[in-house]
């Protein structure tokens, strides 16, 4: 006969509560270790499960149905009770102690949800009225029979009848003594103990957080140890030691911008968290995978009605890595050093071969794979308000930017869209030449995504201490937005920001002395009910996409943030990282860092989560924000992933007490594991364990304010999405519907099926392109982050705008063909001077409008009348067929722009220039007629300027007589031409290398070497490339000066000298007469300004043709097909056009077409109208280089083609119009049909053409600067 424990049970602590499906759980081994912070606490059982059925838990604010709950509990028993305890899992759960026993037959657990406007004080902190925090207590009853009850005013009854003597709830803050509650009377001759359980102020409110169904991903967390045996020597004595080494979860890998296509931990399951029910596997990879055939379900997205989940399934193999174990991991005192041997890490990493999108019906669990090309990667889906799905894919098979000096580049990813059945696939980010990832549609209808921005100088905005070199290339991400069809891309966050001088705001609204975290990699985006956009920000590759989480309210469309006069100007030396930063940016938690090292130490009070026996040493990191329905108007409605532990493979042991163990700082393959392994076998701190938590307040002052939702020790849980209707979060059924570009505007120059677009600007002089802290010789941020004026140019220098076509890379090698990382082709140069006309700011009107090919990456440069660059884009842009984009200024990202409709180019009779139609216009100097440039035309769809074809012949004719042979003037030889061997490597016997790549000045005689203010005195800093050339800036390059025999950067040699630090520049020096011609000078300038192309591969055509398929319609029938084609730079091969009806087997039916237009639209007649909406039409065309574009559209999609545009307005007398400078030009071919100059829109931020959506629609980077410029659209009725 068992006897009861005498006395009282002082306290029960529940370290975690979760639902369970079984009447009783399989118990883990009971722990007899004491908690360091609660010495009297003995953990009796890892989990105690409550049987389902009557007598279970119902929460007052939640589901009252009965289901089991398991609670990780610890008992504090009255002295002198001591361990050991034993636990037997039978129909009756028993906890034995010293011959006495407590018998559990039923446990009722309830949750008291706190007043959301109060929180319990932590030690030395008074309660703060008006601030949200955590306060929750659990009520637990041990009773001998099912008839017993647990009741509280805040609980639903667990069974019929009866009550407890007291309903008092005990609250305790850390450091207080536990309150002793009187025991209730015995009932039925058994012990019935009334226990009040205090959920500490430092503890999470678990049940309160579990009120939203979530889909999420779980991957196995590595909890295995490695048994390591080896000889160690201590005090001169050598012995053999065997020890288990743990901490290998440090090397689990979760997806981030680097491990996007693969090389992450696997296999991984898609899960559903159902409040009141438990966790359900939606797509099972864990139990179906083998090392040779594994899968991982990733990237869930929820449809706007909450009924469908889209996700990606990655497939591949699993591998494990071998590492060498140092002796000092076995024994820190070892005196010999070295390694004991190689061991296999227990982590399993996926080598992926493909990824395929799937749709899952939440109600039925039915999964439908979407059409897929084997070997390609389709991932990161997002539902769109037009009924389609956006996703990230490598279907274009292009390679990322090859940064100058880098050795490798990889496969690019771009944003595509398709119908929910996988048809009508369309590339929606032709501008993405590096990588765009994880789209998300915002409430205003735009699609936000993370974009890898490494063109040209972007990779050199930081140099990691290597002067003139690039920083961590894979960290160069920013947040961008675009319309769902890809129109109107614009920088949303991070394109210009770096380190911040702005303060973190505390919970009480006061400013912290600590700045906002620097921008590194913003990725994994969410938007909450209040419109705020949230993102993780982390250091790529080593931190499992964990770091800091920040939020901001997007600025009005066409703007990014703070202007020049709003940014602290006395910080960070010559450049601040806050220009264009959103004005209300906040950081969710200052204790979570985004640096490439271990997390910060856990602040007071001490804290740990269920499943762990020891308090956490590290505060951990945050990531993966997602939106959930808010509980009230003060709730941010935000869920995040919390990674507990140091969570970095770059270990830093500052959180450990001194003396700090060896091998606990650094990045070798075992150090991060040893950082936690060194804590000893009695400490179970994780190296990294991710789980899903709710953030009930912002900001979070301590990790204990997070509310636990899903977090199991054995799994990493992340990528959560609320499985609820969109209306539950945002109050509307779906985001705003943004029309396609060809339907958003109508212009007589954009016929149905056009492959062209219109681009214009209200002003090129109204600009925000100057460097924030001025022009410095040593100023890498001037191009890499912000401010792409090539020198301190004046308004009178501006003459026109040059459009560049940027061709993608197709090779995976690290070879570069110029200094930009891509192939740059001049599309044309267009005047912007409109003499005699002033704009809305009283400046000379410098507006323009032109037509150019769509679906092609481009950039722009402001130029003078000799075609020399004044400023230049550093971000790819593109347009969609039929799109009209106009801009209110040049990179005006902090304020309202000028209305395009009020500019000269906005007049109905303005004649837009035409680019990409078989000739390339180039400036040939100022004509003397009203300051306008002379313009010459070259045949072709674009012009490349290369060293071998254009520059070396000039040197041969004009320069080598002095700069040739061993005695070359100034030590500069210009007669050492390109060879295959010289195309790669550091070749000082190659003239191109000495001119373009010699940042170390190896080719320069010592007396002529320029001395720098920092680093190696002879290593040149960006934007200077070499002594002779400045990045994309002919007018600031010594080579050009000497050719022109004049300094052309509006400075003199006397302006700055060696004592001027960053401003000490290269001097022009002695007079240098040449017989070079003006045309040769312009060629040399264009070669420098377009990136100094070199090698036979520089002129390769790697750009796919533009092919736009549309239709003429009558009612619900397609009566004819309209096929628009154009190609840059080689041109369309007209004979390759094929148009057919797709047969049931997927084959192409009879060809319906004739020849394609080289730059225009052809009409394909049909024998009879097409009325079957599911029938498909295929069109295909090739360019002269053999690049092929194929488009396939359903009849239903073609029925959405736009109507014919309006006719052009009447021409002037004789079909001509007179420009302000007196030129008379023809208006044949269609002047603009936009509103006249009396039309003024209320918001001049850049927009794409189309109807208003409350705020102007669109946001595009148009003018000439580091980032995309604020594009403004023309409203069309």
Instruction: Tell me: do 987 and 1083 sit in the same domain.
Output: yes
Q: What pLDDT is recorded for position 985?
A: 67
The mean pLDDT value of the chain amounts to: 81
Strands 689-695 and 638-644: antiparallel
**200 and 253 in contact (C-beta within 8 Å)?**
no
- pLDDT class of 570 with cuts at 50, 70, 90: low
Q: Whats the size of the chain, residue-wise?
A: 1277
Q: What pLDDT is recorded for position 797?
A: 97
Give the residue from 797, 780, 913 showing the smallest Cα distance to 847: 913
Q: Coil, strand, or helix at residue 411?
A: strand
Instruction: Tell me: do 1058 and 966 sit in the same domain.
Output: yes
- pLDDT class of 160 with cuts at 50, 70, 90: very low
d(C-alpha 643, C-alpha 680), whole Å: 21
**1015 and 1021 in contact (C-beta within 8 Å)?**
yes
- For 809-865, how does the pLDDT look when each residue is reduced to its tens digit (9 = 90+)? 987 665 778 999 999 999 999 999 999 999 999 999 999 999 999 999 999 999 999
Strands ordered across the beta sheet of 707-710: 621-627, 638-644, 689-695, 707-710
Whole-number percent of the chain with pLDDT over 70: 77
**321 and 345 in contact (C-beta within 8 Å)?**
yes
Q: What pLDDT is recorded for position 1264?
A: 33
- pLDDT class of 785 with cuts at 50, 70, 90: confident
Q: What pLDDT is recorded for position 535?
A: 98
Tell me if the bond preceding 605 is cis, omega within 30° of 0: yes
Instruction: Tell me: do 1086 and 1127 sit in the same domain.
Output: no
Instruction: Tell me: do 1040 and 1119 sit in the same domain.
Output: no
Q: When comparing pLDDT for 159 and 1068, which is higher?
A: 1068
Instruction: Out of 1064, 1092, 1120, pick the residue that ends a domain.
Output: 1092
**180 and 127 in contact (C-beta within 8 Å)?**
no
d(C-alpha 712, C-alpha 691), whole Å: 7
Q: What pLDDT is recorded for position 1244?
A: 31
Instruction: Tell me: do 83 and 198 sit in the same domain.
Output: yes
H-helix or E-strand spanning residue 325: strand 322-326
d(C-alpha 1080, C-alpha 1073), whole Å: 15
Give the residue from 1275, 1187, 1169, 1253 showing the smallest Cα distance to 906: 1275
H-helix or E-strand spanning residue 1089: helix 1078-1089
Q: What share of the chain is helix, strand, coil (3-state, %, to 5)?
A: 10, 30, 60
H-helix or E-strand spanning residue 921: strand 919-926
User: In the numeric block, which tokens belong to residue 104?
Assistant: 């559990």
Instruction: Tell me: do 1112 and 1088 sit in the same domain.
Output: no
Q: What pLDDT is recorded for position 990?
A: 94
Q: What pLDDT is recorded for position 1141?
A: 98
User: Given a cut of 80, is residue 1146 above it in pLDDT?
Assistant: yes
Tally the domains of the chain.
3
In a domain, 471, yes or no: no
User: Given a cut of 60, is residue 142 above it in pLDDT?
Assistant: no
CATH number (domain holding residue 1192): 2.60.40.1220
Tell me if the bond preceding 562 is cis, omega within 30° of 0: no
- pLDDT class of 1228 with cuts at 50, 70, 90: very low
Instruction: Out of 161, 185, 209, pick the residue that ends a domain.
Output: 209
- For 644-665, how does the pLDDT look when each residue is reduced to its tens digit (9 = 90+)? 999 999 999 999 999 999 999 9
d(C-alpha 928, C-alpha 1222), whole Å: 13
Measuring CA to CA, how many Å separate 453 from each of 260, 401, 494, 560? 16, 9, 10, 16
Average the pLDDT over each of 383-397, 498-512, 767-781, 1150-1164 and give the range with the smallest value: 498-512
DSSP track, 1187-1210: -EEEEEEEHHHHTTPPPPPPPPPP
Positive or negative CA dihedral for 503, 786, 554, 261?
negative
Q: What pLDDT is recorded for position 6?
A: 27
Domain that holds residue 966: 947-1092
Helix locations, 278-389, DSSP H: 327-330
Q: What pLDDT is recorded for position 813?
A: 61
User: Given a cut of 50, is residue 88 above it in pLDDT?
Assistant: no
* 1115: Cβ contacts below 8 Å, ≥ 6 apart: none
Instruction: Tell me: do 1112 and 1187 sit in the same domain.
Output: yes
> Exposure of 77 by Cβ count < 10 A (0-12 exposed, 13-18 middle, 19+ buried)?
buried
User: Given a cut of 90, is residue 932 above it in pLDDT?
Assistant: yes
Q: Coil, strand, or helix at residue 265?
A: strand
Q: What pLDDT is recorded for position 775?
A: 87
d(C-alpha 1202, C-alpha 625), whole Å: 39
Q: Coil, strand, or helix at residue 264?
A: coil
Average pLDDT over residues 178-207: 29
> Exposure of 1169 by Cβ count < 10 A (0-12 exposed, 13-18 middle, 19+ buried)?
middle
d(C-alpha 331, C-alpha 1039), whole Å: 62
User: In the numeric block, which tokens belong to residue 125?
Assistant: 């902190």
- pLDDT class of 1210 with cuts at 50, 70, 90: low
**625 and 649 in contact (C-beta within 8 Å)?**
no
Average pLDDT over residues 435-453: 97
d(C-alpha 745, C-alpha 1250), whole Å: 5
User: Given a cut of 60, is residue 1231 above it in pLDDT?
Assistant: no
In a domain, 89, yes or no: yes
Instruction: Tell me: do 1149 and 1071 sit in the same domain.
Output: no
**982 and 993 in contact (C-beta within 8 Å)?**
yes
- The phi, psi pair for 413, rounded to 5°, reads -125, 140
In a domain, 826, yes or no: no
In a domain, 505, yes or no: no
Q: What pLDDT is recorded for position 831?
A: 98
Instruction: Tell me: do 1015 and 1117 sit in the same domain.
Output: no
User: What is the Cα Rg of the chain in Å?
Assistant: 34
Average pLDDT over residues 1161-1187: 98
Q: What pLDDT is recorded for position 461?
A: 85
In a domain, 1016, yes or no: yes
In a domain, 108, yes or no: yes
Q: What pLDDT is recorded for position 158?
A: 28
Q: Which one of 48-52, 68-72, 106-110, 864-868 scores highest in mean pLDDT? A: 864-868
Instruction: Tell me: do 1034 and 1074 sit in the same domain.
Output: yes
Give the residue from 714, 716, 691, 687 showing the smallest Cα distance to 703: 691
- The phi, psi pair for 1017, rounded to 5°, reads -65, -20
In a domain, 231, yes or no: no
> Which pTM does this prediction carry?
0.81
Give the residue from 1125, 1126, 1150, 1127 showing the smallest Cα distance to 1139: 1150
Give the residue from 1185, 1229, 1238 showing the smallest Cα distance to 1211: 1229
Give the residue from 1083, 1125, 1063, 763 showing the smallest Cα distance to 954: 1083
Instruction: Out of 1198, 1215, 1246, pick the residue that ends a domain.
Output: 1198
Q: What pLDDT is recorded for position 569?
A: 64
d(C-alpha 972, C-alpha 951), whole Å: 15
Q: How many CB atoms lie within 10 A of CB 1236?
A: 13
Average the pLDDT over each of 124-133, 405-414, 1054-1063, 1132-1141 and give the range with the smallest value: 124-133
Average pLDDT over residues 881-889: 95
- For 1072-1124, how does the pLDDT look when each residue is reduced to its tens digit (9 = 90+)? 999 999 999 999 999 999 999 999 889 999 999 999 999 999 999 999 999 99
How remote is the C-alpha of 1219 from its chain's centroid?
46
Helix locations, 371-417, DSSP H: none
Give the residue from 690, 844, 649 showing the smallest Cα distance to 766: 844
User: Given a cut of 70, is residue 568 above it in pLDDT?
Assistant: yes
Instruction: Tell me: do 984 and 1048 sit in the same domain.
Output: yes
d(C-alpha 735, C-alpha 722), whole Å: 16
- The phi, psi pair for 669, rounded to 5°, reads -65, 0
- For 534-553, how does the pLDDT look when each residue is reduced to its tens digit (9 = 90+)? 999 999 999 999 999 999 99
d(C-alpha 985, C-alpha 982), whole Å: 7
- For 727-766, how does the pLDDT look when each residue is reduced to its tens digit (9 = 90+)? 999 999 999 999 999 999 889 999 999 999 999 999 999 9
User: In the numeric block, which tokens belong to residue 1258?
Assistant: 């669109």
DSSP track, 1210-1253: PP-GGGEEE-TTS-EEE-TT----S--TT---S--S-EESS--B
Measuring CA to CA, how many Å separate 24 from each of 343, 709, 1030? 38, 22, 73
Instruction: Tell me: do 1082 and 1117 sit in the same domain.
Output: no
User: Given a cut of 70, is residue 602 above it in pLDDT?
Assistant: yes
d(C-alpha 197, C-alpha 1043), whole Å: 85
Strands 884-887 and 756-761: parallel
User: Which residue is it, tokens 């992340």?
Assistant: 718
> Exposure of 822 by Cβ count < 10 A (0-12 exposed, 13-18 middle, 19+ buried)?
buried
In a domain, 809, yes or no: no
How remote is the C-alpha of 430 from its chain's centroid?
17
């Amino acid at each position: 006969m068992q006897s009861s424990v005498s006395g009282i049970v002082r306290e029960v602590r529940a370290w975690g509560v979760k639902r369970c499906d079984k009447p009783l759980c399989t118990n883990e081994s009971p722990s007899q270790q004491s908690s360091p912070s609660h010495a009297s606490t003995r953990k009796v059982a890892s989990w105690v499960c409550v049987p389902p059925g009557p007598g279970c838990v119902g929460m007052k604010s939640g589901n009252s149905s009965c289901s089991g709950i398991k609670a990780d509990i610890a008992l504090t028993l009255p002295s002198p009770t001591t361990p050991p305890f034993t636990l037997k899992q039978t129909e009756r759960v028993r906890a034995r102690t010293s011959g006495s026993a407590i018998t559990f037959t039923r446990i009722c657990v309830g949750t008291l949800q706190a007043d959301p406007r109060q929180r319990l004080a932590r030690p030395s902190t008074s309660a703060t009225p008006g601030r949200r925090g955590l306060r929750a207590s659990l009520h637990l009853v041990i009773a001998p029979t099912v008839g017993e009850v647990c009741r509280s005013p805040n609980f639903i009854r667990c069974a019929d009848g009866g009550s407890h003597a007291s309903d008092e709830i005990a609250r305790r803050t850390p450091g207080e003594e536990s309150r002793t509650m009187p025991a209730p009377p015995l009932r039925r001759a058994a012990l019935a103990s009334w226990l009040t359980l205090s959920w500490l102020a430092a503890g999470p409110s678990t049940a309160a957080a579990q009120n939203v169904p979530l889909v999420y991903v779980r991957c196995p967390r590595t909890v295995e140890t490695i048994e390591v045996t080896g000889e160690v020597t201590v005090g001169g004595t050598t012995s053999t030691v065997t020890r288990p080494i743990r901490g290998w979860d440090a090397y689990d890998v979760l997806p981030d911008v680097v491990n996007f296509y693969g090389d992450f931990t696997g296999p991984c399951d898609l899960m559903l968290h159902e409040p009141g029910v438990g966790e359900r596997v939606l797509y099972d990879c864990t139990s179906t995978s083998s090392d040779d055939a594994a899968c991982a379900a990733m990237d869930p997205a929820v449809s706007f009605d909450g009924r469908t989940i889209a996700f990606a399934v990655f497939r591949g193999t699993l591998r494990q890595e071998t590492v060498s174990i140092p002796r000092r991991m076995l024994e820190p005192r070892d005196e010999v050093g070295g390694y004991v041997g190689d061991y296999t890490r227990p982590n399993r990493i996926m080598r992926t071969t493909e990824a395929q999108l799937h749709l899952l019906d939440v109600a039925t669990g039915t999964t439908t794979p979407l059409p897929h090309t084997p070997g390609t990667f389709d991932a990161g889906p997002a539902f769109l308000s037009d009924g389609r799905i956006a996703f990230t894919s490598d279907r274009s098979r292009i390679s990322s930017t090859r940064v100058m000096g880098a050795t490798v580049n990889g496969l690019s990813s771009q944003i595509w869209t398709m119908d929910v059945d996988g048809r009508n696939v369309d590339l929606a980010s032709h501008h993405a030449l590096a990588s765009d990832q994880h789209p998300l549609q915002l409430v205003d209808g735009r699609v936000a995504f993370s974009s890898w921005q490494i063109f040209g100088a972007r990779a050199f905005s930081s140099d990691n201490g290597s002067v003139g070199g690039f920083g961590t290339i894979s960290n160069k991400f920013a947040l961008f937005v675009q319309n769902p069809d890809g129109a109107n891309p614009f920088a949303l966050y991070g394109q210009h920001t770096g380190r911040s001088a702005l303060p973190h705001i505390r919970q009480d609204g006061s400013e912290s002395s600590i700045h906002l975290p620097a921008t590194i990699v913003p990725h994994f985006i969410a938007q909450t009910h209040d419109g705020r956009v949230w993102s993780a920000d982390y250091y790529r590759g080593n931190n499992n996409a964990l770091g800091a989480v920040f939020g901001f309210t997007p600025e009005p469309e066409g703007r990014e943030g703070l202007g020049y006069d709003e940014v602290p100007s006395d910080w960070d030396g010559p450049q601040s990282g806050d220009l264009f930063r959103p004005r209300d940016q906040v950081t969710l938690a200052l204790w979570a860092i985004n640096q490439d090292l271990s997390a910060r130490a856990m602040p007071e009070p001490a804290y740990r989560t269920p499943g762990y026996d020891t308090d956490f040493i590290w505060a951990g990191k945050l990531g993966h924000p997602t939106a959930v329905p808010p509980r009230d108007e003060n709730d941010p409605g935000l869920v995040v992933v919390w990674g507990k532990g140091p969570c970095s493979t770059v270990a830093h042991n500052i959180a450990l007490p001194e003396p700090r163990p060896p091998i606990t700082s650094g990045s070798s393959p075992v150090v991060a594991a040893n950082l936690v392994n060194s804590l000893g076998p009695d400490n179970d701190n994780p190296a990294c364990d991710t789980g899903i938590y709710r953030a009930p307040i912002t900001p979070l002052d301590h990790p204990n304010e997070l509310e636990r939702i899903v977090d199991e020790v054995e799994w990493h849980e992340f990528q959560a999405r609320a499985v609820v209707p969109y209306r539950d979060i945002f109050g509307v059924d779906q985001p705003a519907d943004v029309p396609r570009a060809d339907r958003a505007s109508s212009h007589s120059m954009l016929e149905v099926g056009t492959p062209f677009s219109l681009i214009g600007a209200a002003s090129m002089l109204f600009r925000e392109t100057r460097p924030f802290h001025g022009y410095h010789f040593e100023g890498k941020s001037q191009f890499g982050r912000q401010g792409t004026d090539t020198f301190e140019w004046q308004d009178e220098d501006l003459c026109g705008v040059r459009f560049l076509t940027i061709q993608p890379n197709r090779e995976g090698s690290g070879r570069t063909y110029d200094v930009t990382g891509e192939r740059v082709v001049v599309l044309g140069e267009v005047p912007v001077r409109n003499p005699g006309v002033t704009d809305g700011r009283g400046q000379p009107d410098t507006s323009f409008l032109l037509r150019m090919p769509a679906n092609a990456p481009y950039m722009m440069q402001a130029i003078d009348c000799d075609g020399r660059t004044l400023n230049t884009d550093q971000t790819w842009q593109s347009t969609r067929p039929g799109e009209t984009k106009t801009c209110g200024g040049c990179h005006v990202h902090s304020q309202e722009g000028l209305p395009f409709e009020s500019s000269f180019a906005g007049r109905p009779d303005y004649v837009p220039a035409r680019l990409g139609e078989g000739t390339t216009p180039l400036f040939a100097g100022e004509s003397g007629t009203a300051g306008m440039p002379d313009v010459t035309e070259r045949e072709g769809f674009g012009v490349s300027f290369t060293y071998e074809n254009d520059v070396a012949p000039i040197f041969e004719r004009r320069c080598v007589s002095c700069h040739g042979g061993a005695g070359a003037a100034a030590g500069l030889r210009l007669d050492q031409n390109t060879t295959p061997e010289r195309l790669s490597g550091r070749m000082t016997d190659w003239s191109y290398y000495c001119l373009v790549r010699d940042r170390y000045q190896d080719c320069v005689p010592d007396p002529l070497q320029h001395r720098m203010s920092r680093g190696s005195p002879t290593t040149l800093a960006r934007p200077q490339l070499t002594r002779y050339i400045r990045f994309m800036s002919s007018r600031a390059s010594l080579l050009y000066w000497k050719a022109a025999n004049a300094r052309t950067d509006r400075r003199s040699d006397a302006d700055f000298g060696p004592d001027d630090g960053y401003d000490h520049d290269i001097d022009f020096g002695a007079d240098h007469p040449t017989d070079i011609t003006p045309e040769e000078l312009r060629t040399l300038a264009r070669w420098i300004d377009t990136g100094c192309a070199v090698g036979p591969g520089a002129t390769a055509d790697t750009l796919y043709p533009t092919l736009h398929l549309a239709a003429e319609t009558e009612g619900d029938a397609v009566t004819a097909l309209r096929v628009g084609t154009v190609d840059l730079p080689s041109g369309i091969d007209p004979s390759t056009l094929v148009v057919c009806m797709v047969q049931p087997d997927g084959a192409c039916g009879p060809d319906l077409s004739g020849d394609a237009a080289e730059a225009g639209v052809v009409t394909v007649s049909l024998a009879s109208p097409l009325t079957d909406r599911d029938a498909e039409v295929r069109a295909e065309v090739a360019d002269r280089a053999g690049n092929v574009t194929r488009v396939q559209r359903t009849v239903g999609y073609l029925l959405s083609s736009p109507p014919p545009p309006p006719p052009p307005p009447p021409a002037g007398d004789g079909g001509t119009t007179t420009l302000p400078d007196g030129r008379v030009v023809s208006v044949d071919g269609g002047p603009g049909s936009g509103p006249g100059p009396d039309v003024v829109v209320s918001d001049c931020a850049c927009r794409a053409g189309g109807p208003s959506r409350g705020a102007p629609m669109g946001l595009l980077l148009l003018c000439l600067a580091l980032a995309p410029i604020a594009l403004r659209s023309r409203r069309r009725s």
